[in-house]
Amino acid sequence: MAMTMTQKILAAHAELERVHAGQLIEARLDLVLGNDITTPPALTVFDQIGSNDVFDREKVVLVPDHFTPNKDIKSAEACAKIRRFARTYDLTHYYEQGEPGMGVEHVILPENGLVAPGDAIIGADSHTCTYGALGAFATGVGSTDLACAMATGQTWFRVPAAINFVLEGQLQPGVTGKDLILHLIGLIGVDGALYQSMEFTGPGVATLSMAERLTICNMAIEAGGKNGIFPVDGKTLAYIEMYAPDRFAKKQYAIFAADDDADYVRTIVVDLAKVPLTVSFPHLPENTRVVGSFDKIPIDQVVVGSCTNGRLEDMRVAAQYLKGRKVAKGLRLIILPGSQRVWRESLKEGLFEIFVDAGAVVSAPTCGPCLGGHMGVLAKGERCVSTTNRNFVGRMGHPQSEVYLAGVPVACASAVKGYIAGPADLD
């Protein structure tokens, strides 16, 4: 029986020769992740099931990032609870403000060398599917599953079927991986890949940067996907060599490739050259429009950052479009580097000076306003163009505010013009 890339990884971790779509399996895990929202309830369950230790202090990772730096007493208490847990069990990978390598979870785990090809990873955060960019199986779970996995190092899965997205050609200048994934979500809908693996193949894969692949996999969940995954190629291995040099040198990774006759629910061929600059209108990621196809929409705020677009490449792209320009009068531009590493390198390269000269505010690494947390919450009637991943009702603040999802070039052009715009609209 032929298998997809995801199915091969799950079979290996279940110690089975083969698996098939719909099969229930129990698999060992290489990494278990929690954050400051999902971990506190997981710790309650951890105690209730009588656990007295984690399965592996190297493989349980905790990252306070959603409401940190703490915005109020409730968030401070939540972080204090997981901080005590991390100290009690001497967790190797605990990343809080002030800790080396800290930042937004889905930015820092790859940067800190914790993800490699062939890994099986769960996280109590829906955007854990980000790590499929590195040829790993990664998916989100609930707090109860997180608690059990922290104790046992295992969890159960229903093996997903898969959609094959065959990428051909190359994206046009100014069009990014964010435009591609928004375009695909608009094409298949927010439940178009429900509990299915979104597997990206074809010659066009080689033209996408690792940052773009991370962005694309990050938003697989917005199409209902169980996970998103890219094949391992030279760019993947170069990334692992840079960020996980020990694992790379010792070849502590596994490369799985889909069988030529793997069974896919459907195959979608995508000509990357025809992917347009895309914006998702309120209040679903599938509500996509092509930039230039709608009348001017005035905006109040622009956010660049998050686990979707807070990497160094994103900061460099933002600087490219903001250099020598000014933010429109009356508009707020907030830039959130995704990690302390990204923050330091952006500072070193002079990107912050470009941002500040343009009129932007630069934040500490945090999820911030993405989920209506802090540092950019919207008031009633306000509109925001954001490089984040969700635009549900009330996602970034008041239920009567609006969020428009876009890539970094569109976000920065919009910040300069004061309305939703593309790079071609800049002077």
260 and 288: one domain? no
Q: Which of 208, 243, 270 is the last residue of a domain?
A: 270
325 and 216: one domain? no
- What pLDDT score does 96 carry? 85
- What pLDDT score does 232 carry? 97
CATH number at residue 199: 3.30.499.10
Helix (H) / strand (E) containing 62: strand 60-63
112 and 216: one domain? yes
- What pLDDT score does 101 carry? 84
For the chain, give the percent of residues with pLDDT over 90: 94
In a domain, 240, yes or no: yes
374 and 399: one domain? yes
Q: How many domains does the chain have?
A: 2
Q: Which of 230, 253, 270 is the last residue of a domain?
A: 270
300 and 260: one domain? no
Reported confidence tier of residue 235, pLDDT bands at 50, 70, 90:
very high
Rounded distance, CA 354 to CA 333, Å?
A: 13
Give me the mean pLDDT over the 237-258 stretch: 95
Question: For residues 219 and 200, is the Cβ–Cβ distance under 8 A?
Answer: no
66 and 191: one domain? yes
- What pLDDT score does 71 carry? 87
54 and 151: one domain? yes
DSSP 296: -
In a domain, 80, yes or no: yes
In a domain, 82, yes or no: yes
In a domain, 103, yes or no: yes
- What pLDDT score does 384 carry? 97
Structure tokens at 317: 């792209």
In a domain, 133, yes or no: yes
Residue 133 neighbours by CB under 8 Å, 6+ apart: 110, 210, 213, 214, 216, 217, 228, 229, 230, 236
Rounded distance, CA 316 to CA 335, Å?
A: 12
- What pLDDT score does 346 carry? 96
Taking 80 as the threshold, does the pLDDT of residue 245 lie above it?
Answer: yes
Q: Which of 213, 243, 270 is the last residue of a domain?
A: 270
Taking 90 as the threshold, does the pLDDT of residue 258 lie above it?
Answer: yes
Encode pLDDT of 82-111 as tens digits: 999 999 999 999 998 777 789 999 999 999
CA 232 to chain centre: 18
158 and 16: one domain? yes
In a domain, 306, yes or no: yes
Rounded distance, CA 350 to CA 354, Å?
A: 7
- What pLDDT score does 371 carry? 87
In a domain, 427, yes or no: no
List the domain range (segments joined by +) for residue 307. 278-422
Encode pLDDT of 314-364 as tens digits: 999 999 999 999 999 999 999 999 999 999 999 999 999 999 999 999 999
Encode pLDDT of 352-378 as tens digits: 999 999 999 999 999 989 888 888 999
Q: Reduced to 3 states, what is the DSSP secondary structure of residue 57?
A: coil
266 and 282: one domain? no
Structure tokens at 5: 């890339």
306 torsion bin: left (phi>0), alpha (psi -120 to 50), beta (else) = left
- What pLDDT score does 97 carry? 74
The Cα-based distances of 79 to 89, 189, 242 in angstroms read: 16, 36, 31
119 and 265: one domain? yes
285 and 154: one domain? no
120 and 193: one domain? yes
Give me the mean pLDDT over the 239-255 stretch: 94
Taking 90 as the threshold, does the pLDDT of residue 224 lie above it?
Answer: yes
Mean pLDDT of the chain: 95
Encode pLDDT of 8-48 as tens digits: 999 999 999 999 999 999 999 999 999 999 999 999 999 99
Encode pLDDT of 385-423 as tens digits: 999 999 999 999 999 999 999 999 999 999 999 999 999
In a domain, 73, yes or no: yes
Give me the mean pLDDT over the 116-137 stretch: 97
- What pLDDT score does 326 carry? 96
Model's pTM, two decimal places?
0.94
